[in-house]
Amino acid sequence: HESNRRGKFVSCIQVIDKQGEVIVSARGESLGTITMVIESPIKSGIPLSSVFKADGCDKVNSALTIEEKNNISHRGKALKIIRKYFENNI
């Protein structure tokens, strides 16, 4: 068993215009711990969510509600940056 159970999910998103120029880039991270056992049923396509407990959460990702997961997820964090960019620039 590995003693360092720390991990992170990272999402990088770019919006590109028709000419191929980058309009905005965003990076989101979710830091946490990989559990020793599967704590929630494995969901198709996202099996690691059953063993990843984000910092500040008492449940693994796949056991969170959609709202809870969107607040801590790496994708959600990156998308919030993209959304804020468009809200401020359109």
pLDDT digit string (tens) for 9-59? 999 999 999 999 999 999 999 999 999 999 999 988 889 999 999 999 999
25 bridge partner residues: 14
The pTM is what?
0.83
At residue 78, the pLDDT reads 97
| DSSP output for 43-77 | PTT-GGGGTEEETT-SS-GGGS-HHHHHHH-HHHH
Cβ contact 54:10 at 8 Å: no
